[in-house]
C-alpha cells in the first residue's frame, strides 16, 4: 500500500502587483483553486468508471489484487448521502467471553475502520416504531423500508417479540468459551471435499438458497442451524434446483429461518408464518408457509436481518463500482455474502466452506450439479469483489476459508 507523502510543500511567494495585473492574478488564483477542488472528484469518477464492468454472462476474471502485509485500518469509502452511511445502535454483540473472538481482534486489522461493533444485525418488535419507519423509508430494497407499507411492517415485526428474536448465534458469555460457526455456500469446490464431519462439528451451521444436504452429507454435512434467504431467492431456488433434489428449505428441529428482506413479500410471509395462516397479499397471496418451513412455526424459529445491516455491508465491505453507474439500484451483496458477514458479526470464530476462490473455474457452479456448469455473473451482485473480500478476511485472520486442493 502506498503511503502518503511525508513532507509538506508550500507555493512560492507571490509578488504583489496592481491594476490589471492584480485583477488578472486574482482571476488566475480563483481558477486555480477551482481546478484543485475539482481534480480529486474527477480522478475518483475516472477510476470508478474505468474499471472493468460486470458483464451478465462473463466467464473470466482478473486475479485478485495482491494482499498487503500491513495490518492498518482501510479507509471507509466516501459515499453520497443517499447511500445512508448512518445506522442505528445495538449492543447485543458488544462483548464476548471468548479470548480471541473476531470482535476483539478485528480492530488491529485493516478492517478496523470498516467494522461497526454496534451495528444492528437483526430487526424485531422493538424496531416497529414510527420514528424508525420515517428514518428507514428513505432507502429502498433490502437497504430500508421504502417498499414496505407501515401496517405490514408493524404487524410483522411485532410478532418477533421474544428475547431470542434479538439474537442470531448465542454469544455464550462464558470464560474462554468461543462460539464456532461454519458458513456453507453452495460452490462446486465442496464436491468430493469430505468436509461434512468438520462442518457438522461446529456450534452452528449456516446455509443458503438451494441448500441440498441429502446425498451430499460427506462433503457438506447434514446440520442446518440457520437457513438464510429472501423470499425471492428461496422461491427461485425451489424452481431452479427442484430437479437436483431441492424440494424445500431444511426442516429440522435445530433450524432457524433468517429472512434477508428485499421488499414487502418477506414481511408478508413472516406475518403469515407466525400467524399460522396463508399469505394474505402480494405476489405470494394464498401460499401457506408450511410449504416452506414445515409445521413448527413458533416465533423462536424465525429471525429477520435489519436493513441497516444490509446497507452497512454494501457501503463498507462491498462498495462495488456498480454503485457509480445508472444500475446502482439493482445492486446489493449476494445472499451468501450477507450470510457470511452476518456470521462474522455474531460468532466468535468463523469457517467458510463452498465460497468462490480464485480457482473457481476448475469447479462447477454448485456442488450438487449433475454436470459441469460455469459460474455466471450478473449485475445485481459483484461476485468478483466478494471473492477478493474473502481472501482479505482470511489473510487478516478474521475467518478460515476452505480453498480446496489449491490451498494445500
The string of pLDDT tens digits covering residues 308-362 is 999 999 999 999 999 889 888 889 999 999 999 999 999 999 999 999 999 999 9
Q: Is the pLDDT of residue 138 over 90?
A: yes
CB 349 within 8 A of CB 178: yes
More confident residue, 91 or 205: 205
User: What pLDDT, on the 0 to 100 scale, is given for residue 204?
Assistant: 96
Close Cβ partners of 320 (under 8 Å, ≥ 6 residues apart): 314, 331, 382, 385
The b/e string for 201-221 (b: 16+ C-beta within 10 A; e otherwise) is ebbbbbbbbbbbbeebeebbb
Close Cβ partners of 400 (under 8 Å, ≥ 6 residues apart): 349, 350, 351, 352, 394
**Closest C-alpha to 313, from 346, 342, 352:** 342
Average pLDDT, the chain: 82
Which whole-number Å values give the CA distances from 252 to 169, 224, 234, in the listed order? 17, 8, 17
CB 209 within 8 A of CB 240: no
User: What pLDDT, on the 0 to 100 scale, is given for residue 94?
Assistant: 73
User: What pLDDT, on the 0 to 100 scale, is given for residue 165?
Assistant: 95
Q: Is the pLDDT of residue 154 over 70?
A: yes
pTM (predicted TM-score):
0.80
* Total Cβ atoms within 10 A of residue 39: 10
Could you give all domains of the chain from N- to C-terminal order, each with its CATH number? 89-407 (3.90.1480.20)
User: What pLDDT, on the 0 to 100 scale, is given for residue 75?
Assistant: 56
Q: Is the pLDDT of residue 33 over 80?
A: no
User: What pLDDT, on the 0 to 100 scale, is given for residue 173?
Assistant: 52
The string of pLDDT tens digits covering residues 49-88 is 333 233 332 332 233 333 333 333 455 666 666 788 899 9
Q: In what order do the strands lie in the sheet with 400-401?
A: 302-304, 256-259, 226-229, 204-208, 180-184, 349-353, 400-401
CB 168 within 8 A of CB 123: no
Interval 351-380 mean pLDDT: 92
CB 278 within 8 A of CB 297: no
Q: Is the pLDDT of residue 8 over 90?
A: no
Amino acid at each position: 500500500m502506498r503511503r502518503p507523502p511525508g513532507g509538506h510543500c508550500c507555493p512560492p511567494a507571490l509578488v504583489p502587483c496592481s491594476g490589471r495585473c492584480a485583477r488578472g492574478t486574482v482571476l488566475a488564483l480563483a481558477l486555480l483553486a477551482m481546478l484543485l477542488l475539482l481534480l480529486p472528484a474527477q480522478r475518483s469518477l475516472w477510476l470508478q468508471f474505468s474499471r472493468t464492468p460486470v458483464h451478465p454472462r462473463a466467464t473470466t476474471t482478473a486475479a485478485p489484487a495482491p494482499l498487503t502485509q500491513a495490518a492498518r485500518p482501510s479507509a471507509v469509502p466516501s459515499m453520497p448521502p443517499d447511500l445512508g452511511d448512518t445506522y442505528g445502535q445495538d449492543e447485543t454483540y458488544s462483548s464476548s467471553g471468548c479470548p480471541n473472538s473476531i470482535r476483539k481482534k478485528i480492530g488491529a486489522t485493516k478492517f478496523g475502520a470498516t467494522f461497526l461493533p454496534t451495528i444492528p444485525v437483526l430487526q424485531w418488535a422493538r424496531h416497529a416504531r414510527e420514528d424508525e419507519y420515517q428514518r428507514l423509508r428513505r432507502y429502498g430494497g433490502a437497504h430500508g423500508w421504502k417498499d414496505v407499507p407501515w401496517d405490514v411492517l408493524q404487524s410483522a415485526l411485532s410478532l418477533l417479540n421474544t428475547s431470542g428474536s434479538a439474537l442470531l448465534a448465542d454469544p455464550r458469555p462464558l470464560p474462554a468459551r468461543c462460539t464456532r460457526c461454519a458458513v456453507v455456500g453452495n460452490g462446486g469446490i465442496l464436491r468430493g471435499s469430505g468436509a461434512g464431519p468438520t462442518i457438522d462439528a461446529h456450534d452452528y451451521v449456516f446455509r443458503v438458497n438451494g441448500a441440498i444436504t441429502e446425498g451430499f452429507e460427506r462433503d457438506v454435512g447434514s446440520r442446518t442451524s440457520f437457513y438464510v434467504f429472501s423470499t425471492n431467492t428461496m422461491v427461485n431456488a425451489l424452481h431452479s434446483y427442484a430437479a437436483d433434489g431441492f424440494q424445500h428449505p431444511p426442516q429440522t428441529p435445530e433450524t432457524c429461518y433468517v429472512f434477508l428482506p428485499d421488499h414487502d413479500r418477506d414481511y408478508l410471509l413472516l406475518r403469515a408464518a407466525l400467524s399460522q395462516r396463508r399469505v394474505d397479499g402480494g405476489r405470494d397471496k394464498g401460499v401457506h408457509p408450511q410449504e416452506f418451513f414445515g409445521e413448527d412455526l413458533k416465533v423462536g424459529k424465525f429471525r429477520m436481518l435489519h436493513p441497516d445491516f444490509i446497507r452497512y455491508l454494501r457501503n463498507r465491505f462491498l462498495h462495488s463500482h456498480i454503485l457509480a453507474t445508472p444500475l446502482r439500484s439493482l445492486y446489493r451483496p449476494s445472499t451468501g455474502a450477507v450470510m457470511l458477514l452476518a456470521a462474522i458479526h455474531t460468532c466468535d470464530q468463523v469457517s467458510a466452506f463452498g465460497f468462490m476462490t480464485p480457482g473457481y473455474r476448475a469447479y462447477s457452479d454448485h456442488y450438487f450439479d449433475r454436470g459441469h456448469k460455469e459460474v455466471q455473473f450478473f449485475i445485481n451482485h459483484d461476485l468478483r469483489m466478494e471473492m477478493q473480500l474473502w481472501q482479505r478476511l482470511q489473510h487478516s485472520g478474521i475467518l478460515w476459508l476452505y480453498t480446496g486442493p489449491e490451498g494445500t
